[in-house]
Amino acid sequence: MGLALFDLDNTLLSGDSDYEWGRFLADIGAVDREQYARTNARFHADYLAGRLDIHAFSRFSFTPLAENPPGVLQAWRAQFLEDRIRPLVGAPALALVEKHRAAGDTLMIITATNSFVTRPIADLFGVAHLIATEPKRVGERFVPEIEGIPAFQEGKVLRLQAWLEAHPELDGERWFYSDSRNDVPLLERVDHPVAVDPDETLAQIAAERGWPVISLHGGPAQAPR
Protein backbone atom coordinates (compact mmCIF):
# COMPACT_ATOMS: atom_id res chain seq x y z
CA MET A 1 0.00 0.00 0.00
CA GLY A 2 1.08 3.56 -0.67
CA LEU A 3 1.68 6.10 2.09
CA ALA A 4 0.67 9.73 1.70
CA LEU A 5 2.35 12.06 4.21
CA PHE A 6 1.15 15.61 4.74
CA ASP A 7 2.72 18.46 6.62
CA LEU A 8 0.01 20.46 8.36
CA ASP A 9 0.81 24.13 8.84
CA ASN A 10 0.74 26.19 5.63
CA THR A 11 0.32 22.91 3.73
CA LEU A 12 -3.04 21.33 4.48
CA LEU A 13 -3.95 24.43 6.47
CA SER A 14 -3.78 27.92 4.99
CA GLY A 15 -2.07 29.11 8.16
CA ASP A 16 0.02 27.92 11.10
CA SER A 17 -1.93 26.14 13.85
CA ASP A 18 0.84 26.53 16.43
CA TYR A 19 1.09 30.27 15.82
CA GLU A 20 -2.69 30.65 15.80
CA TRP A 21 -2.98 28.72 19.08
CA GLY A 22 -0.69 31.26 20.70
CA ARG A 23 -2.72 34.15 19.29
CA PHE A 24 -5.91 32.49 20.48
CA LEU A 25 -4.55 32.12 24.02
CA ALA A 26 -3.64 35.80 24.01
CA ASP A 27 -7.07 36.81 22.71
CA ILE A 28 -8.94 34.91 25.46
CA GLY A 29 -6.65 36.29 28.17
CA ALA A 30 -5.02 32.97 29.00
CA VAL A 31 -1.56 34.52 28.59
CA ASP A 32 -0.17 38.03 28.74
CA ARG A 33 -1.03 39.34 25.28
CA GLU A 34 1.91 41.64 24.62
CA GLN A 35 4.65 39.48 26.07
CA TYR A 36 3.35 36.22 24.62
CA ALA A 37 2.66 37.69 21.18
CA ARG A 38 6.15 39.18 21.00
CA THR A 39 7.84 35.89 21.94
CA ASN A 40 5.53 33.84 19.73
CA ALA A 41 6.30 36.06 16.74
CA ARG A 42 10.05 35.72 17.35
CA PHE A 43 9.87 31.93 17.42
CA HIS A 44 7.65 31.94 14.32
CA ALA A 45 10.22 34.03 12.46
CA ASP A 46 12.95 31.58 13.53
CA TYR A 47 10.87 28.70 12.17
CA LEU A 48 10.36 30.41 8.83
CA ALA A 49 14.09 31.10 8.65
CA GLY A 50 14.99 27.48 9.42
CA ARG A 51 16.74 28.26 12.70
CA LEU A 52 14.11 27.36 15.30
CA ASP A 53 15.32 25.86 18.58
CA ILE A 54 12.46 23.39 18.93
CA HIS A 55 13.22 22.65 22.60
CA ALA A 56 13.25 26.33 23.57
CA PHE A 57 10.07 26.91 21.63
CA SER A 58 8.38 23.92 23.24
CA ARG A 59 9.26 25.08 26.75
CA PHE A 60 7.57 28.35 25.85
CA SER A 61 4.54 26.97 24.02
CA PHE A 62 3.88 24.08 26.43
CA THR A 63 3.82 26.36 29.50
CA PRO A 64 0.10 27.22 29.12
CA LEU A 65 -0.60 23.49 28.77
CA ALA A 66 1.28 22.84 32.00
CA GLU A 67 -0.36 25.68 33.91
CA ASN A 68 -3.98 24.73 33.23
CA PRO A 69 -6.08 21.64 34.06
CA PRO A 70 -7.15 19.23 31.31
CA GLY A 71 -10.81 20.24 31.32
CA VAL A 72 -10.00 23.90 30.76
CA LEU A 73 -7.52 23.06 27.99
CA GLN A 74 -10.03 20.87 26.20
CA ALA A 75 -12.68 23.60 26.30
CA TRP A 76 -10.20 26.12 24.91
CA ARG A 77 -9.15 23.69 22.19
CA ALA A 78 -12.73 23.06 21.08
CA GLN A 79 -13.32 26.80 20.73
CA PHE A 80 -9.97 27.22 18.95
CA LEU A 81 -10.86 24.49 16.48
CA GLU A 82 -14.14 26.15 15.55
CA ASP A 83 -13.00 29.77 15.56
CA ARG A 84 -9.47 29.55 14.16
CA ILE A 85 -8.88 26.22 12.42
CA ARG A 86 -12.01 25.47 10.41
CA PRO A 87 -11.59 28.71 8.41
CA LEU A 88 -8.08 27.52 7.44
CA VAL A 89 -9.33 24.24 5.92
CA GLY A 90 -9.85 24.73 2.20
CA ALA A 91 -11.50 22.61 -0.47
CA PRO A 92 -8.25 21.95 -2.41
CA ALA A 93 -6.56 20.48 0.67
CA LEU A 94 -9.55 18.29 1.45
CA ALA A 95 -9.63 17.15 -2.19
CA LEU A 96 -5.94 16.20 -2.12
CA VAL A 97 -6.46 14.07 0.98
CA GLU A 98 -9.52 12.44 -0.58
CA LYS A 99 -7.59 11.72 -3.78
CA HIS A 100 -5.08 9.65 -1.82
CA ARG A 101 -7.80 8.04 0.26
CA ALA A 102 -9.64 6.98 -2.89
CA ALA A 103 -6.40 5.52 -4.27
CA GLY A 104 -6.18 3.28 -1.20
CA ASP A 105 -3.14 5.02 0.28
CA THR A 106 -2.54 5.13 4.01
CA LEU A 107 -2.80 8.73 5.19
CA MET A 108 -0.63 10.45 7.79
CA ILE A 109 -0.14 14.00 9.01
CA ILE A 110 3.41 14.58 10.20
CA THR A 111 3.93 17.92 11.91
CA ALA A 112 6.22 19.72 14.33
CA THR A 113 3.19 21.21 16.07
CA ASN A 114 2.28 19.43 19.29
CA SER A 115 -0.24 16.60 19.36
CA PHE A 116 -2.61 18.36 21.78
CA VAL A 117 -3.29 21.00 19.14
CA THR A 118 -3.08 18.79 16.07
CA ARG A 119 -4.94 15.57 16.93
CA PRO A 120 -8.40 17.12 16.44
CA ILE A 121 -7.18 18.85 13.27
CA ALA A 122 -6.13 15.49 11.84
CA ASP A 123 -9.61 14.26 12.73
CA LEU A 124 -11.11 17.12 10.68
CA PHE A 125 -9.33 15.70 7.65
CA GLY A 126 -10.29 12.13 8.54
CA VAL A 127 -6.61 11.21 8.94
CA ALA A 128 -6.10 8.56 11.62
CA HIS A 129 -2.30 8.51 11.67
CA LEU A 130 -0.51 11.45 13.24
CA ILE A 131 3.14 12.02 14.07
CA ALA A 132 3.53 15.23 16.05
CA THR A 133 5.79 16.66 18.70
CA GLU A 134 4.64 15.17 21.99
CA PRO A 135 4.31 17.24 25.18
CA LYS A 136 5.46 15.30 28.21
CA ARG A 137 2.87 14.36 30.83
CA VAL A 138 3.09 13.59 34.52
CA GLY A 139 -0.15 11.90 35.41
CA GLU A 140 -2.93 13.84 33.65
CA ARG A 141 -1.02 17.12 33.56
CA PHE A 142 1.39 18.39 30.95
CA VAL A 143 4.88 19.62 31.74
CA PRO A 144 6.76 22.06 29.48
CA GLU A 145 9.09 19.48 27.98
CA ILE A 146 9.15 17.30 24.86
CA GLU A 147 8.55 13.58 25.21
CA GLY A 148 10.97 11.70 22.96
CA ILE A 149 12.11 13.00 19.58
CA PRO A 150 10.42 16.17 18.30
CA ALA A 151 8.80 15.80 14.88
CA PHE A 152 10.94 18.56 13.42
CA GLN A 153 13.49 18.58 10.61
CA GLU A 154 15.52 15.35 10.81
CA GLY A 155 13.31 14.31 13.73
CA LYS A 156 10.45 13.73 11.30
CA VAL A 157 12.61 11.21 9.46
CA LEU A 158 13.53 9.40 12.68
CA ARG A 159 9.95 9.32 13.97
CA LEU A 160 8.64 8.05 10.63
CA GLN A 161 11.31 5.37 10.41
CA ALA A 162 10.34 4.10 13.85
CA TRP A 163 6.66 4.09 12.88
CA LEU A 164 7.34 2.24 9.63
CA GLU A 165 9.25 -0.46 11.49
CA ALA A 166 5.99 -1.22 13.28
CA HIS A 167 4.07 -1.22 9.96
CA PRO A 168 6.12 -3.38 7.57
CA GLU A 169 3.06 -3.94 5.39
CA LEU A 170 3.38 -0.36 4.10
CA ASP A 171 6.01 -1.11 1.50
CA GLY A 172 4.51 0.86 -1.41
CA GLU A 173 5.40 4.27 -2.81
CA ARG A 174 5.50 7.28 -0.52
CA TRP A 175 4.41 10.87 -1.09
CA PHE A 176 5.18 13.85 1.11
CA TYR A 177 3.58 17.27 0.77
CA SER A 178 5.15 20.26 2.53
CA ASP A 179 5.60 24.01 2.29
CA SER A 180 8.74 24.33 4.40
CA ARG A 181 12.49 24.29 4.07
CA ASN A 182 12.47 22.53 7.45
CA ASP A 183 11.02 19.44 5.77
CA VAL A 184 13.75 18.94 3.17
CA PRO A 185 15.24 15.98 5.13
CA LEU A 186 12.00 14.03 4.75
CA LEU A 187 11.22 15.28 1.25
CA GLU A 188 14.56 13.83 0.16
CA ARG A 189 13.60 10.38 1.44
CA VAL A 190 10.26 9.78 -0.27
CA ASP A 191 9.42 8.61 -3.78
CA HIS A 192 7.27 11.64 -4.53
CA PRO A 193 8.30 14.90 -2.83
CA VAL A 194 5.82 17.71 -3.53
CA ALA A 195 6.29 21.35 -2.54
CA VAL A 196 3.01 23.02 -1.56
CA ASP A 197 2.93 26.83 -1.73
CA PRO A 198 6.60 26.60 -0.75
CA ASP A 199 8.69 29.12 1.13
CA GLU A 200 11.46 30.79 -0.85
CA THR A 201 14.14 28.27 0.08
CA LEU A 202 12.02 25.22 -0.64
CA ALA A 203 10.84 26.74 -3.92
CA GLN A 204 14.46 27.10 -5.01
CA ILE A 205 15.33 23.55 -3.95
CA ALA A 206 12.25 22.19 -5.73
CA ALA A 207 13.22 24.02 -8.93
CA GLU A 208 16.79 22.70 -8.77
CA ARG A 209 15.68 19.11 -8.20
CA GLY A 210 12.65 19.03 -10.44
CA TRP A 211 10.19 18.44 -7.62
CA PRO A 212 6.55 19.25 -8.43
CA VAL A 213 5.18 22.47 -6.96
CA ILE A 214 1.45 22.78 -6.31
CA SER A 215 -0.80 25.30 -4.63
CA LEU A 216 -3.58 24.50 -2.20
CA HIS A 217 -4.07 28.12 -1.21
CA GLY A 218 -4.43 30.05 -4.45
CA GLY A 219 -0.80 30.69 -5.34
CA PRO A 220 0.97 30.01 -8.66
CA ALA A 221 2.03 26.42 -9.12
CA GLN A 222 3.10 23.89 -11.69
CA ALA A 223 1.17 20.69 -12.12
CA PRO A 224 2.59 17.57 -10.45
CA ARG A 225 4.49 15.35 -12.87
Q: How far apart are CA 196 and CA 217, in angstroms?
A: 9
Is-catalytic flag, 179?
no
| Catalytic residue of the set 7, 16, 179, 197 | 7
- Angle value at C-alpha 82, between 76 and 88, nearest 5 degrees: 120
Please state at what angle helix 17-27 crosses helix 33-48, rounded to 10 degrees: 170
Q: How far apart are CA 61 and CA 149, in angstroms?
A: 16
Q: What is the DSSP letter of 45?
A: H
Can you list the positions of beta strands (E) in 57-165?
A: 106-114, 129-138, 141-147
| Catalytic residue of the set 9, 18, 105, 199 | 9
Among 93, 101, 142, which Cα is nearest to 121's? 93
Q: How far apart are CA 33 and CA 110, in angstroms?
A: 29
Is-catalytic flag, 7?
yes
> Which residues are designated catalytic?
7, 9
